[in-house]
C-alpha cells in the first residue's frame, strides 16, 4: 500500500479547544473587549497558562490569540515573559486619527460612487436622526450612533480598505474607552455631520469626503486636548 499523506496541520485560529470550544479568534475577541473596557489595564502581563485556565481554552488557542492582539497593537510579546498590554502614546493616538481621517474620507467617496439609493437614504436618515435626537440622549449613545453610521458608510469600500478601517477602528475604540471619550459624547461637530449627510445625499464625493475627514480631525483634537490636560507629552505613555 502506498504511504499515507500526512494530514495538514490545523489552523490554530479556527481550531476549537476540545475542553471549552474556544477558538483563538474568540479568545482574542474576549481579551480585546476586556482591554477596551479597561478591565485589563495597560502594562498588565497576560500569561498563557493562566489565561488558558481562566478562559477554558487550549494554550495553543491562547498563544494564537495573543499573536492576533499583537497585530492589532493591543499587546507586545516578549520571549519567555508573555504578552504585556501596551500603553498608548500621544504620537500613536495622533497618527491613528490621521489614518482614520484619510480612510473615513475614502469610504465616504466609495459610498457616493457605489452605494445604492436605498443605502444612501438609510445612512443620511441615520445621521439626521442622530443630530435631531442627540440632545436627549446619553454621551455613550451619541458615540455609538456615530460608530454605527461609520460602519454603514465603510461597508461600501473594497475588502482591503475595510480590513484596514476595521483594524484602526478597534484601536480607536480602545483609545476612546481608555480616555473616557465614550462618556464625553464627542461624535464630532454638528455642521460637519450635516455636511456629510448632504454630500452623501447629493452623491458629491468631494463634499462628503471632506466632511468625513473633518469629523475625525475633530476627534483627534479632542483626544490631544484630553491627553495634554492629563499632563501627557507627545512620546510619553498616556495615563487614563
What is the structure's pLDDT at 227?
72
Residue spans of alpha helices (H) in the chain: 24-36, 48-55, 59-72, 90-114, 117-133, 139-154, 159-179, 190-201, 205-229
b (16+ CB within 10 A) / e for 106-130: bbbbbbbeebeeebbeebbebbeeb
CA separation (Å) from 12 to 15, 30, 95? 5, 16, 32
Break the chain into its structural domains and give their ranges. Answer: 24-85, 90-229
- Classify strands 82-85 and 75-78 as parallel, antiparallel or unpaired: antiparallel
The whole-model pTM stands at 0.70
Tell me which CATH code domain 24-85 carries: 1.10.10.10
Cα separation, 101 vs 210, in Å, equals: 9
Task: Give CA 179 to chain center in angstroms.
Answer: 14
Q: Which fold has domain 90-229?
A: 1.20.120
Q: Kindly report, residue by residue over 134-150, the tens digit of the pLDDT.
A: 778 777 788 788 888 99
CB 122 within 8 A of CB 112: no
What is the predicted pLDDT for the residue at 225?
81
Taking 50 as the pLDDT cut, the residues of the chain under it are 1, 3-19, 239-240
Torsion of CA 136, 119, 202, 141, to 10 degrees: 20
Q: Among 155, 143, 147, 43, which residue's Cα sits nearest to residue 108? A: 155
Q: In terms of C-beta density within 10 A (0-12 exposed, 13-18 middle, 19 or more buried), how is residue 36 classed? A: buried
Residue-level pLDDT at 211: 98
Amino acid at each position: 500500500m502506498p504511504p499515507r499523506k500526512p494530514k495538514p496541520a490545523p489552523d490554530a485560529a479556527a481550531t476549537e479547544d476540545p475542553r471549552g470550544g474556544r477558538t483563538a479568534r474568540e479568545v482574542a475577541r474576549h481579551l480585546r473587549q476586556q482591554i477596551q473596557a479597561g478591565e485589563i489595564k495597560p502594562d498588565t502581563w497576560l500569561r498563557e497558562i493562566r489565561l488558558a485556565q481562566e478562559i477554558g481554552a487550549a494554550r495553543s488557542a491562547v498563544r494564537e490569540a495573543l499573536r492576533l492582539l499583537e497585530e492589532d497593537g493591543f499587546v507586545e510579546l516578549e520571549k519567555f515573559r508573555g504578552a504585556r498590554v501596551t500603553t498608548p502614546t500621544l504620537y500613536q493616538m495622533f497618527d491613528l486619527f490621521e489614518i482614520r481621517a484619510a480612510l473615513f474620507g475614502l469610504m465616504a467617496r466609495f459610498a457616493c460612487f457605489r452605494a445604492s439609493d436605498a443605502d444612501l437614504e438609510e445612512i443620511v436618515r441615520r445621521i439626521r436622526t442622530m443630530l435631531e435626537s442627540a440632545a436627549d440622549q446619553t454621551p455613550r449613545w451619541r458615540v455609538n450612533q456615530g460608530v454605527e453610521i461609520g460602519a454603514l458608510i465603510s461597508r461600501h469600500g473594497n475588502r482591503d480598505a475595510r480590513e484596514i478601517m476595521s483594524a484602526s477602528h478597534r484601536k480607536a475604540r480602545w483609545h476612546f474607552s481608555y480616555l473616557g471619550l465614550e462618556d464625553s459624547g464627542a461624535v464630532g461637530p454638528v455642521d460637519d455631520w450635516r455636511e456629510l449627510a448632504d454630500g452623501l445625499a447629493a452623491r458629491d464625493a468631494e463634499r462628503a469626503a471632506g466632511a468625513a475627514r473633518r469629523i475625525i480631525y475633530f476627534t483627534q483634537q479632542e483626544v490631544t486636548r484630553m491627553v495634554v490636560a492629563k499632563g501627557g507629552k507627545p512620546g510619553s505613555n498616556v495615563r487614563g
